Amino acid sequence: MAWNQVGEYEITGIETLLPASFTSRVATRASNVALLKPSWNWAGYFTQYLDIPDFGLARIEQRHNLSTRESSLFIPTVFKPSYRLKFYKADWISSLTLTIYEDSMPLNFEPATSTVSIPSSLASAAISSTVSNSATSVPFLSLNPSRRKLVVANNSNRDLYIDLDFTASIADHCIKIPKVSPTGFIATYELEEYTGVVSGVWESVGTGAALIREMVL
């Protein structure tokens, strides 16, 4: 897996349609947020547009929030033949720098084959497992073409970092799941239509575990 920088954009307007087209998942990051205050955690959001030949752009009602302090991963549910992103800046922020990286493997990549199989999108069973707290990267799930949905809950007293790869790290991850809150709230993350490997690592040694539920055919 390789990530390539698509662009770095200086955002000053309320709405900005990014000039690039995408065929895979993208990582987004805000930096140089003007006059950033400690209470400003939200920088704005993206909407996705499907780029349809001979028709133009069609908006998909799916939002992707952008943090002022952390990178985030956007995995489109519709992406063929390509898609674009429009960014809506928070109106209390006058300007920021938006950096976009794209996965080198297109989501619409299809290996050569003599047959076409169209699987059902409905899961028929759930597989539950747990992974104990670890300060070094540990595998969560292996490749499973039958997976339709993944749910990970962080039932521990340390923040959990998830990556859709063989190794996760605090410096290189795509999802952060906070630790159990003082009121007992357990944060979860749900991901649909991803069948690849999953790994995780906690910020430090603690107690508790990740609760994993895999919905499969």
**Which CATH number goes with the domain that contains 12?**
2.60.120.1300
Whether residue 166 is contained in a domain is answered as: yes
Whether residue 53 is contained in a domain is answered as: yes
Higher pLDDT pick, 211 / 82? 211
Whether residue 178 is contained in a domain is answered as: yes
pLDDT tens string 91-100: 999 999 999 9
Contact 121, 164 (CB under 8 A): no
- Considering its fold, how many domains does the chain have in total? 2
User: Domain check: are 141 and 96 in the same one?
Assistant: no
Whether residue 93 is contained in a domain is answered as: yes
- Dihedral sign from CA coordinates of 8, 69, 65, 216: positive
Residues in CB range of 59: below 8 A, 6 or more apart: 47, 48, 49
Please, is 2 exposed, middle or buried when counting C-beta atoms within 10 Å of its C-beta (0-12, 13-18, 19+)? exposed
Q: Per DSSP, which regions of the chain are E strands?
A: 3-11, 15-17, 26-31, 42-52, 56-67, 72-74, 83-89, 96-103, 125-132, 138-141, 147-156, 160-163, 175-177, 188-192, 198-202, 208-216
pLDDT of residue 107: 67
User: Domain check: are 161 and 199 in the same one?
Assistant: yes
User: Domain check: are 153 and 203 in the same one?
Assistant: yes
Whether residue 109 is contained in a domain is answered as: no
By residue range, what is the domain housing residue 91? 3-103
Q: Which of 8-17, 48-57, 124-133, 154-163 has the lowest mean pLDDT?
A: 48-57
Going from the C-alpha of 103 to that of each of 30, 34, 129, 157, 207, the distances in angstroms are: 18, 29, 29, 32, 34
Residue length of the chain: 217
Whether this model's pTM surpasses 0.85: no
Supply the DSSP string of 123-138, one letter for each residue.
Answer: --EEEEEEEE--SS-E
User: Domain check: are 133 and 199 in the same one?
Assistant: yes
User: Domain check: are 152 and 187 in the same one?
Assistant: yes
Whether residue 116 is contained in a domain is answered as: no
pLDDT of residue 10: 96
User: Domain check: are 92 and 150 in the same one?
Assistant: no
Assign residue 164 the CATH number of its domain: 2.60.120.770
Domain endpoint, select from 68, 103, 138: 103
pLDDT tens string 118-171: 444 566 788 999 999 999 999 999 999 888 888 999 999 999 999 988 999 998
User: Domain check: are 133 and 99 in the same one?
Assistant: no
